[in-house]
Structure 1
């Protein structure tokens, strides 16, 4: 089947409606053009379809200007800060982020969708379906969140595996919740501890930070490499009582340790697992509470966390 630009554009516009890619039963709402472009087969269930759509869109849009990329991700329901029920709400959110009117944002959305069509239909290997996991994936992600110092700090160690030859750069991202539900977005201080060189960074939205990291040498398929970063909340800035990891690509294992201040232990701590977007916003306790050990720490592991779901811990501060 040959894919026409008009058909693919219309299917992308349709996909933006409602919850976008997050629509329940998404496998019943994807047209034949998108199925071919994204490599979706008849046996794929809703979550597999959602993953293939997300991977294709994010990979195709990775070189777009930030404002165009966000004007694609948000309408399609792929921006983690714009998980609203209706397209109009996502457009309004994007208009505020870009300080533009809704009509301007809709024009950018159309331009971004047209760029996706052009990427899909260009000749050569770049038109083929390629997921980010075909370049590299995370074998182990180990995070240590320290809350007993002058300011919250998290040491994040990742072991990555190349899924193709010649992997020399990787992208790393972090989303920082506002200190309070209605508060302004916070800042972070990021330091490379070892294993990579920071060669680029951007802030596509007030809460999201993207980093481009260079490896010391290119990796061939199957080779692994470990690197570590430390993320600190600036002095004087509070931190919401939550640490949740949202995998953006395949991750084989996630381990989180939290060391609380023994002079300010929380009232309760609970495990967050398989959370959907916005499930963790209101800090309502989940059923699985976690006991602190005798030195005020918790240690949780999540084998094979799924892309697009949230994993971690939240807590209620005492007092």
Structure 2
């Protein structure tokens, strides 16, 4: 389905009315656009719809500024301190909380809803699969990328948190890029070693340049449990960029890149850009300068699924 931002905005404004997410006949108030971005299947009951919409909205509001995030969560009755019966009461609570009048709060709710809709549609249209129903998320991801080795390699340390019971497998993926656009990436271009935290149960080419990985955990996780994994990736390609495009929410992503000498002439920060823009030299970001060791270090918080975060460089 080709989802439009305008359609998502309209359906969200209908959903916030009355009891919001706690509306008795929620299935009748969730239209086709929301069903698409929340991956709601035909025939799902009200409880499943309520869970999927709640989880999707909570994930989408995460990158918003604090005031908009508070306003939007309260508008739908998702804020722990604003589960009032009716919309006008929830607006009043936000007004008191933020020390603003009701009219200002209504405007901020509208602004937040528009940004949520844009994020939802961007994830839907992303080259990565649409954000799934939330079953786990990454609390912390640290990647160290070494480009000064005979074969470039990346060490990935990830701490995940289960958002549901019986999480036995993690779906991961890595997109590789080659300087020769005429050549598709082969599965053999990527070597993966698991240092700890599970075992690879499947790897498959999801597209011409994306390798899907399934990591089987030592034992299933229960809701709220944390688990750490460590992986090493090696690929005989000289990447022009390295980005994280999360499928599941990521709270904190830290990236270290060590460049070969001489350092690239042009290194830029990519912060919440469309995945296609990560590959486009015309899409600019803040310039980065390597230190005396030829390294750059960047840090990101509250990554939105479907967007790209990392660095891009151009060789001298």
State the TM bucket, normalised to the shorter chain. 0.5 to 0.7
- 1:279 equivalent to 2:277? Answer yes
* Alignment coverage as a number of residue pairs: 227
Name the structure 1 match of 2:234. 232
Name the structure 1 match of 2:167. 167
Name the structure 2 match of 1:156. 156
User: Aligned to 2:125, what secondary structure does the other structure show?
Assistant: coil
Name the structure 1 match of 2:197. 195
Name the structure 1 match of 2:222. 220
User: Aligned to 1:132, what secondary structure does the other structure show?
Assistant: coil
Shift of 1:50: 6.4
- In structure 2, the CA distance between the partners of 1:28 and 1:164, relative to structure 1 (3 Å rule), is closer
Name the structure 1 match of 2:8. 27
- 1:290 equivalent to 2:288? Answer yes
- 1:80 equivalent to 2:128? Answer yes
Shift of 1:253: 0.4
Shift of 1:182: 4.2
- 2:10 & 2:241 partners in 1: Cα distance? 34
- In structure 2, the CA distance between the partners of 1:53 and 1:185, relative to structure 1 (3 Å rule), is same
- In structure 2, the CA distance between the partners of 1:184 and 1:33, relative to structure 1 (3 Å rule), is closer
- 1:192 & 1:300 partners in 2: Cα distance? 24
Kept in 1, the 8 Å contact 2:184–2:209? The answer is no
- 1:168 & 1:231 partners in 2: Cα distance? 22
Task: Give matches, 1:1-319, under 5 Å.
Answer: 15=1, 20-21=2-3, 23-28=4-9, 32-35=31-34, 37=40, 45-49=113-117, 77-80=125-128, 132-133=133-134, 135-185=135-185, 187-234=189-236, 238-261=237-260, 263-284=261-282, 286-318=284-316
Instruction: Provide Cα deviations, 1:128-161, integer angstroms capped at 9, x if missing partner.
Output: xx9532x211001111110111111111111000
Kept in 2, the 8 Å contact 1:179–1:185? The answer is no
- 1:298 & 1:78 partners in 2: Cα distance? 27
- 1:153 & 1:255 partners in 2: Cα distance? 16
Kept in 2, the 8 Å contact 1:26–1:50? The answer is no
Kept in 2, the 8 Å contact 1:256–1:299? The answer is yes
- In structure 2, the CA distance between the partners of 1:168 and 1:51, relative to structure 1 (3 Å rule), is farther
TM-score when scaled to structure 2?
Answer: 0.63
Bigger RCO of structures 1 and 2 (CA < 8 A, at least 6 apart): 2
- Consecutive unaligned residues of structure 1, counting only runs of 5 or more, are 1-14, 56-75, 82-129
- 1:52 & 1:270 partners in 2: Cα distance? 26
Output the aligned Cα RMSD: 3.0
After superposing on structure 2, the runs of 4+ consecutive aligned residues of structure 1 that deviate more than 6 Å are 50-55
- Consecutive unaligned residues of structure 2, counting only runs of 5 or more, are 12-29, 41-48, 58-74, 77-111
Name the structure 1 match of 2:60. none
Kept in 1, the 8 Å contact 2:5–2:117? The answer is no
Shift of 1:24: 4.2
Kept in 1, the 8 Å contact 2:176–2:239? The answer is no
- The higher radius of gyration belongs to 2
- In structure 2, the CA distance between the partners of 1:34 and 1:230, relative to structure 1 (3 Å rule), is same
